[in-house]
């Protein structure tokens, strides 16, 4: 949003600089003066939490890479070397490992905020799609990072997930071998995963820059879903939202520190403390908790559909569950953005949240008995929500009356 | 429409599914674990130096003939937060071992505190041959490689209480749960011993028995339970040697963050005072 700038160079040097590279002008415009709806609630602070988490992951990751050895004979011991011999190594390593979980926790809050308040709707479709791209990149990064310590779960997780690609007809096997750098998960796999795991966070950072650019074109949405109409609706980003975000970031760091210092391994799996062994398969191969919902959907498809094998079907469903988010802006035709004004939408939304948690639970259970049936029901609801419920609701629902403006809504609330 | 009804039906199924999960799982698939009170559990947890020294003694006199600890250097035994043996004790201990070193004319030398704990067997093959075909796992991280994970929702309770000592509880329960005969109908392999906690046969026979190890402190009972507890604590220290340092820093970090959060909140409230939102 150009033209929000109150930037006035205060001295000759600044002026000289501003005429050549308006960096300070840009920063002031976008980091300080940027008008944000005065009524955005705490769910809008998680973007800032995510930005900080990305920095935490990159900084701790770079330090870890200084001491880590991407070789199957040494990787496991080199992580132990970090934990034992590097100064504060156990804390740095723990921060990175727990940080991945905290990052995903924050991204889920951020995404479910978007789903509730209809943040994906016009004019924010590109902003949302960039978010989905970030989410995909985050999953790829986390998956490859989990392989690096070369424990049993690393190895077998890598084997199971790369193996999925073999389900694709004709090109599947070449892709599989390309990903692994051979016929099986081995040293070449570890090397390329390390290289990519180092690369992808910077790609994420670049997409985040686009994400924020796309945010700063229409500006933030808000809990009423009514767009900004006048300057009475907004407050400058600094100091109002910098301070609010900072407060939440510090609060977020409290459970983060709790895990890092008192239970750094509790979110992981004990089997990853056993060095990778291609000859011993663990009893249960489970991904990290944040990938479980998608793992559950993958396994829910255990039947062939015409020429599509169960395996390929599972892969399609798993990737489809994320791809579908990209077209969500065109599936949900309701003109009302905020779920708060959509009486019929609300129960389906909350059921969707519960359903997602159920999928997370099911992803961690063995693929047997009642769990298989539940996985199928939950997968059906996941897709049904986007493909059937949202399009139909858009047609049949009568939304509650919207406030005429944000400032009006604020006044009503403060009455 | 009966949308509401359907929602309730699905909701009921979900609740049922979640509550049907057993709250506790036994680690080895056998009988339930009896959780111990560990000095290193919780926020204020710290290792009991005397216990670690006793645990070391059990390891040294009993387990180390089969199990290695390749990530542990002798010098670690003198470090703060561990068994804290004196430098001279560590030097004397190291001197009991010889290290093979092809670079030297003699092909070997006496170990120094900087050396790693030597493995009892030179190769895995040799270890298996001596142990009924089974490999005695290395102890360096074994206490972290075993766990007693709980099912939802008790796993959240563990997170809230920072219960991380599943590995120590696992090892303790394994060591005290040997039985002379397998129960009726349970088959175990040749040369194996039945372990009720493990829920089957193990190729390690019960390594402990009463009065096997002579403790210097005569007030400590010489029972299997006591040995098991001490050696489990010692193994946990091997797997997480900087626990005390980490928890001490953690406490300060938490206090710092809490105060900072409060200050942030107050500043935020001040800035927002009088602004309708
Ligand atoms: C590294 C990860 C990410 C970072 C650093 C990030 C950053 C941000 C920031 C700073 C904001 C503005 C503040 C806020 O609304 O919270 C924002 C808004 C938004 N983000 Fe993200 N984001 C990330 C991932 C995602 C993902 C995965 C999605 C969805 C799939 C997403 C969708 C959105 C949407 C729709 C908005 C606009 C919300 C509104 O203004 O109503 N973001 N993001």
User: Mean of the per-residue pLDDT values for chain B?
Assistant: 90
Q: How far is the CA of A123 from the centre of ligand 1 (A)?
A: 14
pLDDT at A5: 67
pLDDT at B13: 40
CA atoms within 13 A of residue A249's CA, in its CB half-sphere: 17
Instruction: Return the CATH number of B2-72+116-241, one of 3.40.250.10, 1.10.760.10, 1.10.10.1800, 3.40.50.300.
Output: 1.10.760.10
What residues of chain A lie within 8 A of the CB of B242, using their CB?
Answer: 83-84, 90
CB neighbour burial string for B214-232, b if at least 16 within 10 angstroms, e if fewer: ebeeeeeeeebebbbbbbb
What is the C-alpha to C-alpha distance for residues A137 and A127, in angstroms, rounded to an integer?
15
Q: Assess contact for A296 and A357: CB atoms under 8 A.
A: no
Phi, psi of A306 (to 5 degrees): 50, -120
What residues of chain B lie within 8 A of the CB of A347, using their CB?
Answer: 3-4, 7
| Residue with CA at minimum distance from ligand 1 atom 34 | A128
pLDDT at B21: 34
Give the ranges where A118-222 is alpha helix by DSSP (H): 125-147, 152-164, 172-180, 187-216
Place of tokens 């645990």: B55
Bridge partners (DSSP) of residue A36 are: A235
What is the C-alpha to C-alpha distance for residues A81 and A89, in angstroms, rounded to an integer?
8
Bridge partners (DSSP) of residue A234 are: A37
Which DSSP helix (H) or strand (E) runs through A36? strand A35-37
Bridge partners (DSSP) of residue B98 are: B110
Q: With an 8 Å Cβ cutoff, are A265 and B268 in contact?
A: no
What residues of chain A lie within 8 A of the CB of B146, using their CB?
Answer: 270
Question: Does the pLDDT of residue B27 top 60, yes or no?
Answer: no
CA distance B181 to chain A (A): 26
What is the C-alpha to C-alpha distance for residues A163 and A24, in angstroms, rounded to an integer?
50
Residue A95 CA, chain-centre distance (Å), reads: 18
Q: Assess contact for A48 and A249: CB atoms under 8 A.
A: yes
Nearest CA in chain A to B27: A270
CA distance A152 to chain B (A): 10
pLDDT at B15: 39
What is the C-alpha to C-alpha distance for residues B11 and B9, in angstroms, rounded to an integer?
5
Q: How far is the CA of A110 from the centre of ligand 1 (A)?
A: 6
Q: How far is the CA of A232 from the centre of ligand 1 (A)?
A: 24
Across the A:B interface, residue pairs with CB atoms under 8 Å apart total 130
What is the C-alpha to C-alpha distance for residues A120 and A114, in angstroms, rounded to an integer?
6
Q: With an 8 Å Cβ cutoff, are B145 and A381 in contact?
A: no
| Residue with CA at minimum distance from ligand 1 atom 17 | A47
Is the C-beta atom of A108 inside 6 A of ligand 1? no
Q: What is the pLDDT along chain A (415 residues), one digit of tens a residue?
A: 445 568 899 999 999 999 999 999 999 999 999 999 999 999 999 999 999 999 999 999 999 999 999 999 999 999 999 999 999 999 999 999 999 999 999 999 999 999 999 999 999 999 999 999 999 999 999 999 999 999 999 999 999 999 999 999 999 999 999 999 999 999 999 999 999 999 999 999 999 999 999 999 999 999 999 999 999 999 999 999 999 999 999 999 999 999 999 999 999 999 999 999 999 999 999 999 999 999 999 999 999 998 899 999 999 999 999 999 999 999 999 999 999 999 999 999 999 999 999 999 999 998 889 999 999 999 999 999 999 999 999 999 999 999 999 999 998 887 7
Q: Assess contact for B202 and B83: CB atoms under 8 A.
A: no
**Shortest CB distance from B272 goes to which of A240, A267, A361?**
A240
- Residue A345 makes CB contacts below 8 A (sequence gap 6+) with A334, A339, A390, A393, A397
Nearest atom (ligand 1) to Cα of A129: 30
Per the structure block, which two tokens stand in for A361?
């639970």
- Model's pTM, two decimal places? 0.93
| CA angle at A292 for the pair A289 and A294, rounded to the nearest 5° | 145
Nearest atom (ligand 1) to Cα of A132: 30
Per the structure block, which two tokens stand in for B82?
């561990």
| Residue with CA at minimum distance from ligand 1 atom 38 | A119
How do the domains of chain A map onto residue ranges?
45-218+237-287
Preceding peptide of A123 cis, ω within 30°: yes
For residue B41, name the pLDDT band (cuts at 50, 70, 90): very high
Q: Report the top-level CATH class of A45-218+237-287.
A: mainly alpha
Enter the DSSP assignment of B73. B
**Shortest CB distance from A250 goes to which of B42, B140, B264?**
B264
- List Cα–Cα distances, B76 to A39, B90, B105, in angstroms: 57, 9, 29
pLDDT at B10: 42
Is the C-beta atom of A208 inside 6 A of ligand 1? yes
Which DSSP helix (H) or strand (E) runs through A255? helix A242-262
> Which of B90, B246, B107, B109 shows the shortest CA–CA distance to B164?
B246
CB neighbour burial string for B92-128, b if at least 16 within 10 angstroms, e if fewer: ebbeeeeeeeeeeeeeeeebebebbbbbbbeeeeebe
Does the predicted interface ipTM exceed a cut of 0.85?
Answer: yes
Q: Assess contact for A285 and B183: CB atoms under 8 A.
A: no
pLDDT at B24: 34
pLDDT digits (tens, 9 = 90+) for B106-142: 899 999 999 999 999 999 999 999 999 999 999 999 9
% of chain B beyond a pLDDT of 90:
82
CA distance A220 to chain B (A): 15
What is the C-alpha to C-alpha distance for residues B126 and A121, in angstroms, rounded to an integer?
66
How do the domains of chain B map onto residue ranges?
2-72+116-241, 250-277
Is the C-beta atom of A223 inside 6 A of ligand 1? no
Supply the DSSP string of B200-234, one letter for each residue.
EEESS-----TT-S--SSTTS---HHHHHHHHHHH
What residues of chain B lie within 8 A of the CB of A358, using their CB?
Answer: 14, 17-18
Is the C-beta atom of A132 inside 6 A of ligand 1? yes
């Amino acid at each position: 949003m150009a033209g929000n700038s109150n930037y006035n160079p205060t001295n000759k040097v600044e002026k000289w600089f501003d005429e050549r590279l308006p960096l300070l002008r840009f920063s002031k415009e976008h980091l300080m003066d940027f008008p944000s709806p005065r009524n955005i609630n705490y769910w809008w602070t998680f973007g800032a939490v995510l930005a900080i988490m990305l920095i935490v992951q990159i900084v701790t990751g770079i330090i870890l890479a200084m001491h880590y050895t991407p070789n199957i004979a040494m990787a496991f011991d080199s992580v132990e070397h970090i934990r034992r011999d590097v100064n504060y190594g156990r804390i740095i390593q723990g921060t990175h490992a727990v940080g991945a979980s905290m990052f995903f926790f924050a991204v889920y809050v951020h995404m479910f905020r978007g789903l509730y308040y209809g943040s994906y709707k016009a004019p924010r479709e590109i902003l949302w799609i960039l978010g989905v791209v970030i989410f995909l990149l985050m999953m790829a990064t986390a998956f490859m990072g989990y392989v690096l310590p070369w424990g049993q779960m690393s190895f077998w997780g890598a084997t199971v997930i790369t193996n999925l690609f073999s389900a694709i007809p004709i090109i599947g096997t070449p892709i599989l071998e390309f990903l692994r750098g051979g016929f099986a998960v081995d040293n070449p796999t570890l090397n390329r995963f390390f290289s990519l795991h180092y690369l992808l966070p910077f790609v994420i950072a670049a997409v985040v820059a686009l994400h924020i650019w796309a945010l700063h074109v229409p500006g933030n949405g808000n809990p009423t879903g009514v767009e900004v109409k006048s300057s009475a609706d907004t407050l400058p980003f600094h100091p109002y939202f910098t301070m609010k975000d900072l407060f939440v970031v510090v609060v977020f760091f409290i459970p983060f520190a709790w895990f890092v210092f008192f239970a750094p391994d509790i979110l992981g799996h004990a089997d990853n403390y056993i060095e990778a062994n291609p000859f011993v398969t663990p009893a249960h191969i489970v991904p990290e908790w944040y990938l479980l919902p998608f793992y559950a959907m993958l396994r829910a498809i255990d039947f062939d559909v015409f020429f599509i094998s169960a395996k390929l079907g599972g892969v399609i469903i798993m990737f489809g569950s994320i791809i579908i988010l990209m077209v969500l802006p065109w599936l949900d035709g309701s003109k009302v953005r905020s779920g708060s004004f959509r009486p019929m939408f609300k129960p389906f939304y909350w059921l969707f949240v519960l359903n997602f948690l159920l999928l997370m639970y099911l992803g961690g259970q063995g693929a047997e008995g009642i769990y298989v049936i539940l996985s199928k029901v939950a997968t059906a609801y996941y897709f049904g929500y986007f493909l059937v419920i949202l399009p139909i609701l858009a047609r049949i629902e009568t939304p509650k009356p919207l406030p005429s403006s944000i400032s009006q809504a604020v006044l009503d609330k403060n009455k | 429409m009966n949308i509401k009804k359907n929602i309730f039906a699905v909701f009921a199924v979900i609740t049922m599914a979640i509550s049907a999960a057993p709250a506790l799982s036994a680690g080895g698939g056998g009988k339930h674990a009896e959780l111990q009170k560990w000095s290193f559990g919780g926020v204020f947890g710290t290792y009991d130096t005397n216990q670690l020294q006793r645990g070391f003694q059990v390891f040294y006199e009993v387990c180390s003939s089969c199990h290695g600890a390749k990530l542990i250097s002798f010098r670690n035994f003198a470090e703060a937060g561990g068994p804290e043996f004196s430098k001279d004790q560590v030097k004397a201990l190291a001197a009991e071992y010889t290290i093979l070193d092809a670079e030297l004319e003699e092909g070997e030398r006496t170990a120094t505190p900087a050396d790693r704990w030597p493995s009892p067997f030179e190769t895995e093959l040799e270890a298996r041959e001596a142990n009924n075909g089974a490999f005695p796992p290395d102890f360096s991280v074994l206490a972290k490689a075993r766990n007693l994970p709980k099912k939802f929702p008790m796993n959240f309770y563990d997170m809230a209480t920072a219960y991380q000592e599943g590995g120590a509880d696992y090892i303790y329960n394994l060591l005290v749960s040997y039985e002379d005969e397998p129960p009726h109908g349970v088959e175990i392999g040749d040369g194996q011993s039945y372990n009720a906690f493990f829920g089957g046969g193990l190729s390690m026979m019960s390594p402990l028995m009463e009065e096997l190890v002579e403790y210097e402190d005569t007030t400590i009972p010489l029972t299997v339970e006591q040995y098991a507890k001490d050696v489990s604590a010692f193994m946990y220290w091997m797997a997480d040697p900087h626990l005390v340092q980490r928890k001490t820093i953690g406490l300060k970090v938490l206090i710092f963050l809490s105060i900072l959060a409060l200050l942030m909140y107050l500043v935020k409230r001040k800035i927002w005072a009088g602004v309708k939102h």
